Amino acid sequence: MLYNFTTIPQSSLVNPGTDVSYKFYFGFPVLSGVSLNAGSSSFSAYDLFADNGVDFNDKVRDVINKSSRNDKVVTNQQLEIFTGGFRVGGRESRSYVSFGLYQEFDFFMYMPKDLALLALDGNKDYIGKMFHLNDLNVKAEVLSVFHVGFHKKMNDKLVLGGRAKIYSSGANAVSVHNSGYIYTSQEPGTPNLYNQVISSNLELKTSGIAPFTKDEYDGNIATDIAHNTFFNGSLGLGLDAGVTYYLKKNLQVTASIIDLGFVKQSKDIETLTYKGTYQYQGANPDFMNPDDPENVFDEFKKAIPRDTLYDKYTTWRPTKIYTSVEYSFGNYRSNEDCNCKQQVKERYRNAAGLQFFAMSAPREPLVALTAFYKRNIFEKLDVKATYTVDTFSSTNIGLGLSGTIGMVNIYALANNILEYKDISKASSAAFQIGINFVFQDSEE
């Protein structure tokens, strides 16, 4: 929704080469950009929490049975702490600097179907089935991002822009390079004898979390994570780049790459590993009874030990790619166009086009294709409507409004609005709101 919505200053966050102009602007602290985006490709909140008399465990089992290992749960939240931008040079300059600080939370998980089935039902009804441990694939991080950007309109056709970022990660957890399996079979003709093999190569890397798991910790987790995120986190660097090019006055193409960067996780590091192979032959082992006469539990712990490592590691940010083509039509002149002191710029009341989005993910990228229509309703009120086909829905209709009263710009964006009549049944939902103060030259 935000991409190429140029009446909103934050549009430069998703394309630093977007064609925007202003004397200067600054965002209302903490309220200039508030956004949340959540989606699941296999279930909705209603599937789990509907008051329909179905037992919760049965609901969970239905969700798992209907899902596949490639289904995803994704959440992204952003809170802009401060932001601003200004023209560099005189009135005729086409160069702009922007800056800001925002907090971000990312969560990404593939549905661990095999592990969920094993946890719910055990292996009694799955003799001969191999449960794959590489189904466990999850990433989560909370961080702050300080950024400085520059964009310049090179000529009437080309706009280029870039942005440098410093990441400060307050907490990170990642478990993506897992492999192994759990397999149980029966000896032919001996229904009470089993052959069970557990081959494990599991790894969970964490940064900024270890102190909270210690028995002696007596602080406030939320406060300490916030402190680490803004003042004492693991550091990283990133870049954004973008371009706008006008094939004709009313036909433009754009492209950008966002969050091409990394974080060197170095604060309060712990890596937990479970690596090894365990094989059992005989009556079904009882792992919950450490006093088993055959010492099954002790043998298992020796075969697949839990180790803790303290090596630093690097995580890559989820990189996003945007591109669009936009056709504008419906010329109009406003009262401001009658000012003879300035050159009149040809403007259009309508625009329509296509956008493409892709984001890196552990197995395959997330992609979306959007058709959009923008309309200038009044002098300072613009609306954008979208239809999106993505991983989570093929009927995602979005709506965005951007209005300016005096120097105050207020905007609100939301997608999947047809599901708002019962948001619990939506496979995805996203919104963003904000307030900015935008200043133009007096003649503009």
Which has the higher per-residue pLDDT, 326 or 51?
A: 326
Give Dmax (Cα) for the chain. 98
Decide if 310 is inside a domain: yes
- Collapsing DSSP to helix, strand or coil, 214 comes out as coil
Residue 44 · residue 424 · CB < 8 Å: yes
Decide if 331 is inside a domain: yes
Of 367, 366, 365, 369, nearest to 355 by C-alpha is: 369
Q: What is the pLDDT of residues 397-441, one digit of tens each?
A: 999 999 999 999 999 999 999 888 888 888 889 999 999 999 987
Decide if 444 is inside a domain: no
Contacts of residue 142, Cβ cutoff 8 Å, sequence gap at least 6: 103, 104, 105, 169, 170, 171, 172, 225, 229
Whether residue 162 is predicted with pLDDT greater than 70 in this model: the reply is yes
Decide if 1 is inside a domain: no
Which has the higher per-residue pLDDT, 340 or 282?
A: 282
Q: What is the pLDDT of residues 63-83, one digit of tens each?
A: 888 888 889 999 999 999 999
CATH number of the structural domain spanning residue 263: 2.40.160.40
Whether residue 337 is predicted with pLDDT greater than 60 in this model: the reply is no
> What is the pLDDT at residue 424?
83
Tell me the percentage of the chain whose pLDDT exceeds 90: 63
Question: Secondary structure of 181-212 in the HEC alphabet?
Answer: EEEEEEECCEEEEEEEEEEEEEEEEEECCHHH
> What is the pLDDT at residue 443?
52
Amino acid at 102: Y
Segments forming the whole domain that contains residue 394: 9-439
> What is the pLDDT at residue 341?
44
> What is the pLDDT at residue 56?
85
Confidence of residue 140 (pLDDT cuts 50, 70, 90): very high
> What is the pLDDT at residue 346?
64
Predicted TM-score of the model (pTM):
0.89
Of 105, 106, 108, 111, nearest to 79 by C-alpha is: 105
From CA 118, how far away is CA 130, in angstroms rounded?
A: 10
Phi then psi dihedrals of residue 118, to 5 deg? -65, -40
Q: What is the pLDDT of residues 223-257, one digit of tens each?
A: 999 999 998 899 999 999 999 999 999 999 999 99
Decide if 47 is inside a domain: yes
Residue appearing with tokens 């190569």: 201
Whether residue 146 is predicted with pLDDT greater than 50 in this model: the reply is yes
For residue 96, the Cα-to-chain-centroid distance in whole angstroms is 28
Contacts of residue 158, Cβ cutoff 8 Å, sequence gap at least 6: 243, 244, 245, 246
Q: Taking all residues of the chain, what is their mean pLDDT, rounded to a whole number?
A: 89
Tell me the percentage of the chain whose pLDDT exceeds 70: 92
Question: Secondary structure of the chain in the HEC alphabet?
Answer: CCCCCCCCHHHHHCCCCCCCCCCEEEECCCCCCEEEEEEECCCCHHHHHCCCCCCHHHHHHHHHHHCCCCCEEEEEEEEEEEEEEEEECCCCCCEEEEEEEEEEEEEEEECCHHHHHHHHHCCCCCCCCEEEHHHCCEEEEEEEEEEEEEEEECCCCEEEEEEEEEEEEEEEEEECCCEEEEEEEEECCEEEEEEEEEEEEEEEEEECCHHHHCCCCCCCHHHHHHHHHHHCCEEEEEEEEEEEEEEECCEEEEEEEEEEEEEEECCCEEEEEEEEEEEEEECCCCCCCCCCCCCHHHHHHHHCCEEEECCCEEEECCCEEEEEEEEEEEEECCHHHHCCCCCCCCEEEEEEEEEEEEECCCCCCEEEEEEEEEEEEECCEEEEEEEEEECCCCCEEEEEEEEEECCEEEEEEEECHHHHHHHHHCCEEEEEEEEEEEECCCCC
Q: What is the pLDDT of residues 174-220, one digit of tens each?
A: 999 899 999 988 877 676 677 889 999 999 999 999 999 888 888 88
Q: 5-18: b or e for each residue (b if 16 or more CB lie within 10 Å)?
A: bbbbbbbbbbbbbb
Whether residue 289 is predicted with pLDDT greater than 60 in this model: the reply is no
Whether residue 13 is predicted with pLDDT greater than 70 in this model: the reply is yes
> What is the pLDDT at residue 331?
81
Phi then psi dihedrals of residue 268, to 5 deg? 50, 60
Domains contained in the chain, number: 1
Decide if 330 is inside a domain: yes
Tell me the average pLDDT across 350-354: 96
Decide if 322 is inside a domain: yes
> What is the pLDDT at residue 344?
47
> What is the pLDDT at residue 340?
42
Decide if 2 is inside a domain: no
Tell me the average pLDDT across 85-114: 91
Confidence of residue 444 (pLDDT cuts 50, 70, 90): very low
Confidence of residue 343 (pLDDT cuts 50, 70, 90): very low
Tell me the average pLDDT across 8-37: 93
From CA 417, how far away is CA 421, in angstroms rounded?
A: 8
